[in-house]
Amino acid sequence: MTVIRNIFKDRILQITVIITILSLCFARPRLGDINTHTLFSILAMLTIIQIFSYLHVLDVLAYKLTASASNTRRLTVIFTFLSVISAMFLTNDITVLTLIPLYLTIARRYKLPEILPVTLIGMGANIGAAFTPWGNPHNIYIVNRYTVTPIQFFKWSLPLLSVSLILLIIMLMFVKNTPIPSLPKEDIRISIRPMILTIVVSIFFFFGIFNVVPVYVPAILAILLTIFINKTILLHIDYVLLLTFTCFFVFISDIQQIPFIVNEISKAMSNEHLVYLTSILSSQCISNVPSTILIGKFTNYAEALFLGSNIGGFGTLVGSMANMLVFKSFLEHGTISRKKFFCMFSLLQFTGLIVLMILGWLVLYFVI
């Protein structure tokens, strides 16, 4: 019942369902427009990351690394780069939901700075998630929609990662270098056998995204592994995201059959720079996942959409789901006023957005 209650409480899903129902007044969805490859891929991804979360992999890494921190800057650097790396494999949502409450618990205990470190951890999660095909759900969609190869994908994501890390390092220099007492080590253990099995399933998942194996294989294996380890893990899978993707596929299938809308959207997709800017700006209003699905149906400029959707995750709280989760986590665990946090968070996020927008524009102009 809790799972069903959470599904119906999600505001984004509520809005998606409403516009999907309205679209049914104009057309009926075509079965071929429902991208089952993406849906199976997302199901596999969501299941695998919940298994890793249940096994406390990220908690163990965080506690082991932070035990060596001797000052506030070093602690922030550890958390920020752990956020970047973990988001590459566990998605940005799981990363911020794990690391930010953990950092704020330590910060509250030792009276450490909160606003800048938490913002940088959140930005690190978005940076890391953009680097891999499974770090962001919309990356999975782009890989499948345009049949992107692993080499091609990483040719797109590596320059973005490199510049983003430079920007992150510069921002980390503004964290005060204040000594802190030795942090205690927490005794958290990882079950080795489930861990190895989960890694094996993750490898199948990687091959499934790029169509080396049928994508339903890792999805089924992930669910079976969940039942083997602890079937209650299934209760924590983000079914809302899966339903949201499904509704958007239905909605877009409907509006694709309305000539006027198709013509208007097509005008905004006439070149890669327009696709790039449209995906960034729309992400600021409706978040980068729905923005990518909507624009992806009307353009063949895959790299422009990839850059725009991932860079569009910076900026407003709505830019990506991870941004909203950062703010929510701070409200629950932080001690500083929400207004002060929101102002600093927005300033840093829009700084990152502007810098990366310029980078993306130059890549499109000189490279493509």
Q: What is the 3-state secondary structure (H, E, C) of the chain?
A: CHHHHHHHHCHHHHHHHHHHHHHCCCCCCCHHHCCHHHHHHHHHHHHHHHHHHHCCHHHHHHHHHHCCCCEHHHHHHHHHHHHHHHHHHHHHHHHHHHHHHHHHHHHHHHCCCCHHHHHHHHHHHHHHHHHCCCCCHHHHHHHHHCCCCHHHHHHHHHHHHHHHHHHHHHHHCCCCCCECCCCCCCCCCCCHHHHHHHHHHHHHHHHHHCCCCCCHHHHHHHHHHHHHHHHHHHHHCCHHHHHHHHHHHHHHHHHCCCHHHHHHHHHCCCCHHHHHHHHHHHHHHHCHHHHHHHHHCCCCCHHHHHHHHHHCCCCCHHHCHHHHHHHHHHHHHCCCCHHHHHHHHHHHHHHHHHHHHHHHHHHHHHCC
pLDDT for 188 equals 65
Taking the C-alpha atoms of residue 115 and residue 126, their distance in angstroms, rounded to an integer, is 17
**pLDDT band with cut points at 50, 70 and 90 for residue 215:** confident
Please check the confidence at residue 21 and state whether its pLDDT lies above 60: yes
* Residue 114 and residue 336 in contact, taking contact as beta carbons nearer than 8 Å: yes
pLDDT for 242 equals 86
Tokens of 63: 């506690």
Instruction: Indicate the residue type of 344.
Output: M
Please check the confidence at residue 368 and state whether its pLDDT lies above 90: no
pLDDT for 346 equals 93
Please check the confidence at residue 246 and state whether its pLDDT lies above 70: yes
Integer-rounded Cα radius of gyration of the chain: 20
Query: Looking at residues 245-271, what average pLDDT do you find?
Result: 80
**pLDDT band with cut points at 50, 70 and 90 for residue 275:** very high
pLDDT for 1 equals 53
Query: Looking at residues 293-304, what average pLDDT do you find?
Result: 89
Largest CA distance in the chain: 65
Which CB contacts under 8 angstroms, 24+ apart, belong to 265-270? 265/298, 266/298, 269/295, 269/298, 269/299, 269/301
**pLDDT band with cut points at 50, 70 and 90 for residue 240:** confident
Lowest mean pLDDT among 138-147, 284-293, 311-320: 284-293
Average pLDDT in the chain: 86
Lowest mean pLDDT among 15-19, 51-55, 220-224: 15-19
Top-confidence residue, 125 or 71: 125
Please check the confidence at residue 183 and state whether its pLDDT lies above 70: no
Lowest mean pLDDT among 55-59, 137-141, 202-206, 272-276: 55-59
The pLDDT > 70 percentage for the chain reads 94
Top-confidence residue, 22 or 168: 168
Lowest mean pLDDT among 62-66, 184-188, 256-260, 296-300: 184-188
Instruction: Indicate the residue type of 49.
Output: I
Lowest mean pLDDT among 14-18, 104-108, 273-277, 320-324: 14-18
Please check the confidence at residue 282 and state whether its pLDDT lies above 70: yes
Top-confidence residue, 301 or 33: 301
Closest by CA position to 164, among listed 128, 191, 196? 128
**pLDDT band with cut points at 50, 70 and 90 for residue 112:** confident
The winner for highest mean pLDDT among 68-77, 206-215, 223-232, 251-260 is 223-232
Query: Looking at residues 238-262, what average pLDDT do you find?
Result: 82
Taking the C-alpha atoms of residue 126 and residue 88, their distance in angstroms, rounded to an integer, is 9
Q: Which residue has the tokens 């996942």?
A: 289
